[in-house]
Structure 1
Amino acid sequence: MSYKRLFPKFNASALSEICGSSSISKADVPRAREVVQQIPIYHKEDISLNDAEGVMEEWHGVLKDGPGVFVVKGLADNLDVVDRAQDAANSIIHSEKLKYANRGDHFAAGGKNERVWNYFQKHAHEDPSGFSEYYANPILNLICEAWLGPAYALTSQLNVVLPSGAAQEPHRDFHLGFQSSEQTARFPASMQMATQLLTLQGAIAHSDMPAESGPTLLLPFSQKYDAGYIHYRNKELVDYFKAHAVALPMQKGDSLFFNPGLHHAAGANVTKDVKRAANLLQISSAFGKPMETVDRTAVTLSVWADLRAKYIQGDFNSSLDALINIVGEGYSLPTNLDLDPPPPTGYCPPSQQDVIRKGLEEGWGYRRAKEELLKRDSVRRA
């Protein structure tokens, strides 16, 4: 049996062998318009919901066995909605500067960047209708399901890298990307590889991002290096990344999605006047745990009027389905099975998304929706 519980010691050439021998062509990704620096470039207007299974299959292959990253140009194609989302973020940033002086960031000292933690929930409270327009995006829903399937959970952080903002060191992302090498080494190799399958990382540009503003540096195919979570801090790998990483300029509304195991790093903003702003999306599998806690009942109630309006306009169309999938908890577990047992006709009790859909079908007003959603919350508690 060749399977080993733990990874072997560091092999300096392993990553370069994988990245140096891997490539992708336009023929491998027929729905992309082009492949630039080994990154497939899609355009929202080319993607059809009638081809949902085909495009999800293609994206899944890109993320798992391909370069590990793709771009969707114009994912947020209504720039007024993007600007409105950034206006909400700016308002939150202003109020939080008064509340939290020099608050820290993952990779920068306090005050060097402008970051809104749990921007997802704060955005919903700050501008409910703007939030609803932003996330009622069927193509975003397809992207999430392509990697994670249904009942995913989306969280987000708004990040603004100011002029002269320094580059990050190359890294991998949540879960094990946030652990030390010593902590990571305690997890079996199978768990280290599995963590890639539990999360999808993404970003939607809230500003134009010319090359000199430092858009994300990416090392295509590096997610295929199985031992990457334990070894990405090694100097040889850092040097290889800096010599071979690529970056693509972005326009406002463009998006980038990548496997969390892809080696990447935000670039340095060497401009004098560009505030590089992005909504950083982290989408988690129903079987994983997101990085931030979100009160999804509060988010749902914030946008209940918009949910009702969209239902009245077009029943459960693709835009409303996308918004429900984004705001509501799609997986009914864990729960308190004494108070919330599986129904006689099924295996799991109703999820929050089930309650939302029932409420829309039955025409619940805000008060009834709040009552039913809080009741669902209460029976799930231990």
Structure 2
Amino acid sequence: MKTFTADNYDPAEIVEELLDGAGAVRFTGLFSDDQIAQARAIIMDHSNAEAEKVTHFQGAAAEDGKINLQRRVWNLLAKGDVFADMATHPVLLDCLRAFLGTDMVMGSIAANRILPGGPGQEPHVDYPYWDMHDLPSHPARLNASYPVNAQVTIMLDPFTETSGATAYMPGTQKNLRYPTEADNFFESCHRMLGDPGDTVLFFGAAWHCAMPNASDHDRNAVLSNYVPKWVKPLEDLPAGLTQDFKASASAELRQIIGLNHPYPEVLDKAQAINAEGRT
């Protein structure tokens, strides 16, 4: 996997690598140790609280279940300023705009915490491609000649083979389809390895999956999904944020949470408001 820093990256080169190369690139040095520690602490607090709720409502049987070994924390923008800083890092925005268009939006921002012993996943592709196994539900001739997805993984713990670093198969984004058992993914996959603070940007059409965590420590990451402005986001991010948050959001943050894109809109109501403004 090609590796870049804030001083040596070229958006055009990265777009070419995402579309026609391996499908993924790594950045180092984008985030400080303090940012990584702060993000990790917030995620640990929220994921522990959610696990306690599940155990309370589902009983002791949940203790050994997957929900306690792999935990998601959603709507991170509402849980700490550090996540807004991560989502709007200028290097990432520069590359994402070159890849998905200048008005691209964030489809989701969540944390994935895999505890020791946590399970892996089956190989897959990501939203909005993630149900490509149901081809009739997608447009005819859908292909990867242009992207409608980008994924960002910010590592908060060591991503090693032992801790279950994300596996991916380079080049599979070029032929957009869902992986099958016959593809023998696990026999030829590569791993997204890195240290806390390292960041991987990849085209979610590349086959990938989390691997089992066989280490003695958690594997936490911030996972962000980005889509062009005309693709419906996975998370309704504005609905999860307060009016004060939205009113004080930076221009970059307003763009990626979709506040600058009016659609879908009730157009007859908008027409009436415009008419009133002209009277």
Give the alignment's TM-score, normalised by structure 2.
0.83
- Check whether the contact 2:23–2:202 (CA below 8 A) recurs between aligned residues: yes
Structure 1 match to 2:213 = 269
- Check whether the contact 2:28–2:197 (CA below 8 A) recurs between aligned residues: yes
Note if 1:204 corresponds to 2:154.
Answer: yes
Structure 1 match to 2:202 = 258
SS at match of 1:334: coil
Whose helix fraction is larger, Structure 1's or Structure 2's? Answer: 1
Aligned pairs (5 A) from 1:1-382: 39-47=1-9, 55-75=10-30, 77-101=31-55, 109-120=66-77, 124=78, 126-127=79-80, 129-154=81-106, 155-178=108-131, 181=133, 183-185=134-136, 187-191=138-142, 193=143, 197-226=147-176, 228-229=177-178, 232-233=179-180, 235-237=181-183, 239=184, 241-271=185-215, 273-295=216-238, 298=241, 301-302=244-245, 304=247, 307=249, 320-341=250-271
SS at match of 2:190: coil
Amino acid aligned to 1:261: A
- Check whether the contact 1:300–1:328 (CA below 8 A) recurs between aligned residues: no
- Among the aligned pairs, what percent are the same residue? 24
SS at match of 1:243: helix
* Compared CA separation, residues 178 and 79, structure 1 to 2 (3 A): farther
Count, aligned residues: 265
SS at match of 2:267: coil
Give the alignment's TM-score, normalised by structure 1.
0.62
Q: Residues of 2 paired with 1:270 and 1:196: CA distance?
A: 37
Amino acid aligned to 2:260: G
Bigger radius of gyration, 1 or 2?
1
Q: Residues of 1 paired with 2:271 and 2:136: CA distance?
A: 39
- Check whether the contact 1:148–1:198 (CA below 8 A) recurs between aligned residues: yes
Amino acid aligned to 1:287: W
Q: Residues of 1 paired with 2:171 and 2:258: CA distance?
A: 33
Unaligned runs of 5+ in 1: 1-38, 48-54, 103-107, 308-319, 345-382
* Compared CA separation, residues 304 and 331, structure 1 to 2 (3 A): closer
Which deviations, in whole Å up to 9, do the C-alpha atoms of 1:261-284 show, x marking residues without a partner? 10111122111x221100111112
Unaligned runs of 5+ in 2: 59-64, 275-279
> Over aligned residue pairs, what C-alpha RMSD do you find?
2.7
